[in-house]
Every structure is written in structure tokens, then in C-alpha cells.
A and B are shown apart, each in its own frame.
Chain A
Amino acid sequence: MSPASSPSNVNRFHLTRILVVWLVLSLILTPLVYFVWGPNMPPGDMANNAKDQQFDNTVLSTVATPVVLFIWVYLGYALIFFRRKDASDEEDGPPIKGHLGFQVGWVGLTTVIVLSLFVFGTYELVGPNGAGTGSGSSPIWTPAGYSGVAKYNKLFQVQVIGQQWRWTFRYPAYQGVETTQLVIPEGVQIQFNTTSLDVIHSFWAYELGVKADAVPGVNNIAFAVAERPGTFQIRCAELCGPLHGAMSSVGVVVSPTAFNTWIAGQLVLHGEVIPLLPPYAPTYLPQSDGGLYDPGQDPLGPDLTLPSPAP
């Protein structure tokens, strides 16, 4: 900065000290964040999505570290050295109204950072893993084997049904059996079809890195590959009423063989209720408003509560 009133060496003096402190701190902390903290960042590495999210968290934190450090170092430096010595000092500071180079540099630098973050984020989003989690009924970036047409779709289908206030799960490949626990085979590309029977919920399988809103009348698709056996926590991430907080459950990732035995057991356990279930469909619109609408004038006619497939 160069107002005539101030000798530029004073500027250089302060600038060097600030930059040195900042540089040292950054050189120490930034690698620590990336290499030490990064691998331990949530949501862990149980599934490919989770890895993506962990990687994004790591990269963003790494980029953020020097930025935050600069502001903190600068503010701290100003507090110490740009402070008037004693209360009697009524003098004003140098009248610096701007510095074109500095302003352009600052805005330019932030722009570069932002643009690179955007490119990085978009790459991660369009990447092969479908890291976007809840991607609507016709996801743009899909794993191999996906097809919008059910019968050409090679992926392992699980339908997640939200209802006030619990999750249930349907396996279309197994007579459309509906279970109250989520069990998925390890190492298989899973396609979660999330939908809701009443209000908006959000299916959050934390360790799988899957979060997809369950919206009535919408089939919200998310993909994941669980890479090792274990349990993962399922929660509702969208306020859905008084028991929203209790709308949780524990999912399990098992080996494909163990899955087959499990699903066989489920077919026995829920066998007799399968005929009662509506045919498997992307969304269900239970033709009932609980009598909210004047029955005499409701276009949907009398109250039929059993879920029926969307037209």
C-alpha cells in the first residue's frame, strides 16, 4: 500500500512478519489436517459414498485451513501491533482509502478458490459413485447397470418407505417382501428407492453416506456400495412430527450368503402378509386423507386406506 504519508518500508516490515507467521502456521497445520485428521473424518469409510463425503470434507477443510489462519493471524496481529499505545493518543491512522492491486488480488484469489471448489464439487457429484445421494426419480449420474426401466435395471433394489414414525423396507426382487429392518449385502451396488406415505421424511443412513428425502408421491433414488460388514445407524433427517426424534433404526451390512439366509427367513416371517401388500410400485398414494376432505365432495370418493400403486 502506498499513500505518500507512510514510508513503504513500514508496510514491508509488518507485511513480512504477518506473512511469515501465517506461512509457518499453514505449513504445519495444513498437512496435519489433510494427512492426520482427514482419514478420521466422518462419516468414515464403510461405503463408497461415505468415502466420497469423507474426501470432500478433508479437501474442503484443507483448503479452508490457510484461509482461516490468515484472517486469524491478521486479526491477532492487528490487535497487538495496530493498537493505539495509550488512551491519550488522539492521532488518526494513515488515510489509506484503497489499494487497487490488493483489492484486485483479493477478489481474484477468492474467485479462483471458489471456482476450483465448484469444479471439484461438480466432479465429485458427477463421479461414478453418484455421491449426490438423494438424486430424484431420474438421476443424471448413475452407476453401471442402472436403467430407468425397471426390468432392464441390473442394480440391487431396496425400497425405503417412510411413515410417521418408522422406516420399512421392501425388496422387489424377493416377492416384494416388506421388512422392518434394513439388511443389505456387502460389495453390491445398492439402489435405494426412497418414498413416503404421509409427510416429508429424510432417509439418513449415516455410515453409508446416504441421505435422501422421503417425499410423498416421489421416488427419490440414491446409490451406495457397502464395502465391509457392520451396522449403520438410520435416522430421519427431516422434521416429520412429534416422534421425529425417535424415527431411528439400525441397519446391517452382511455377506451375500448371510443375506440370502436372512431374506429367506424374512420371507417366512412376513410370508402371510405379502398378499395384503399393494403391488410393488415406485410410489404409493394411500387413497386416504383421514377424512380431512369433505367426504361428500372429495374427488377421491370414499376412504380407502390400503396403499394402492400410483396411477
Chain B
Amino acid sequence: MTKAQKTIGVLIPLALLLAVVVWTFFYLIRWPPTVEASTRSAGVVDITAQTVGSIGTGNHPTWVSYLVRDSSGVWVHTTTLQVPANSTVHMTIYQFDSGSSLRNPVMNQVLGAPDATLDGKPYSLWTDTIGHTFTIPELGLSVPMPGISATAANPCSVAPCALSYDHHTVQFTFKTFGATVYTWQCFVPCGLGYLAGFGGPMSTFGYMNGVLKVVA
């Protein structure tokens, strides 16, 4: 074999390997889509989300998840939120999931959001079963969302859920500061079938935990 032939014989497998590496790299760095908060007025933004009992897709139909509504009103399956710095964020979360109890009841109470309302009524503690919480530990924010009753008339089974199904509406506001990235999560052990209930959706980005990108 000539040198040229051998060189080609070496380069072709290398090129294939490189292709595999590049593909894997892009497979690894994929994120759920980022949903930007819609601006209400200067320095005030809105985020609308819902929590569902089963996202019903993929190989794990039993997983719970958050969904976020983007500016065009479409429910996106993501937990990557983006808000401007030094602004007031109005969160509205429709809670369609049934509830269980927390591993640590301290998060039964509303923390860091004094104006939180449940179905329009202000509340600071929920003692009954909890569907999910929206918690940003670094901001000291934690809001529990009551689970819908087990005997609900028409529970939502397939995400995204229309508001016609039984649900609770939780609203609250919090303030952001400088540009950074916060992680947020749910503290209800709703990863059914996983030790301590914190596997599966609880430890999978895009389901029960995500990031809040604060951009300047």
C-alpha cells in the first residue's frame, strides 16, 4: 500500500470517530427550550406555568412535570425560565396534580412570597397534602401548591391540561436582582417508584427542577 492509501485508511475511521464525538457532544449539551417571561410593564413580568400528574410521553408515562406557557400561549415542556434582572416576577401556576406529603414539613408554608394567593385567597401555610412546590432556595422562596382532592370530578390525565379540568391556581410575586442563574425545584417526593421519591422526574432537568436565568 502506498503512503497516500494508508493515510486515507487512517483518516476515514478518524473522521467517523470525530463525527460520533461531535454528535455525542451536541446530544449532551441539549437543553429544554428557554421560555422568556412576558413583560407586563417596565420591570414587571409574568410567568404562567402548570404542573401535571403525568406528562405521558416517552418511555416513562408516569412522570410528573412542570409546563410553561410561552409568549404565543403554547404550553412548552420545559423548566428553563428567563426573566430580566431587578424586576418583579408575577408567577401564576395551575396545579392539576393530586397531592402527597413532604419529606420535610417546613416547606408546608409559603416562604419569601407574602402576597401568595391560592384560588384568589391569600394563604401562608397549607397543612393538607401538597401537589408540588415551587422553590428557589437561593432566593429564600418556596410556595407549596395544594394537591387536588382524590375524589375530584374530572382530573386531568394528559398534559397539557386545559383549565376546564380540576385545578388550583396559585399566584405570587418575587423580585430578582443581578444577572445570574438560579436553580429551582419541587420538594414534594413525587418521583413515584424511586427511593425517597426523589428519583426520575425529581432529578431530571425539565421535569421537576430547572433554572431561572436572570439576564441583565
Contact = CB atoms under 8 A, between A and B. Distances in A.
Interface of A: 161, 163-166, 168, 178, 180-181, 197-199, 241-243, 246, 248-249, 270, 272-273, 276-278, 286, 288-292, 303-307
Given A241-B203, A272-B125, A305-B189, A290 B104 contact: no
Nearest to A286: B103
B196 A161 contact: no
Nearest to A275: B127
B82 interface: no
A164 B196 contact: yes
Given A272-B125, A303-B100, A242 B137 contact: no
B192 A277 contact: no
B209 A242 contact: yes
Chain A interface, >50% SS class: loop
B192 to A, nearest CB: 5
Given A292-B193, A307-B105, 15 more contacts: A163-B104, A163-B187, A164-B198, A181-B140, A198-B195, A241-B198, A242-B209, A246-B137, A246-B183, A270-B109, A292-B195, A304-B101, A305-B197, A306-B101, A307-B104
Interface in B59-111: 100-106, 108-109, 111
B103 A198 contact: yes
A166 B191 CA distance: 17
Contact of B104 (A197, A199, A304): A197
A290 B194 contact: yes
Nearest to A306: B101
A304 B105 CA distance: 12
Which of A165, A272, A289, A290 counts the most B-chain CB atoms under 10 A from its CB?
Answer: A290
Contact of B183 (A180, A243, A288): A243
B185 interface: yes
A288 B198 CA distance: 11
Given A180-B111, A243-B185, A290-B191, A307 B103 contact: yes
For B111, B125, B127, B189, the residue with the greatest tally of chain A CB atoms inside 10 Å of its CB is: B189
B195 A289 contact: yes
A250 to B, nearest CB: 9
Nearest to B209: A243
Contacts of B209: 242-243
A267 to B, nearest CB: 13
Contacts of B106: 168, 178, 180, 270, 273, 277
A303 B138 CA distance: 30
Nearest to A199: B196
Interface in B32-50: none
A168 B107 CA distance: 10
A288 B197 contact: yes
19 contacts: A161-B104, A163-B103, A163-B104, A166-B135, A168-B106, A180-B106, A180-B137, A197-B196, A242-B209, A248-B138, A273-B106, A273-B125, A277-B105, A290-B189, A292-B195, A303-B100, A305-B100, A305-B101, A306-B102
B172 interface: no
Interface string B165-205: 00000000000000000010101010111111111001111
Contact of A288 (B103, B135, B185): B103
B117 interface: no
A273 B198 contact: no
A242 B207 CA distance: 13
A305 B194 contact: no
Contacts of B103: 163, 197-198, 286, 288, 305, 307
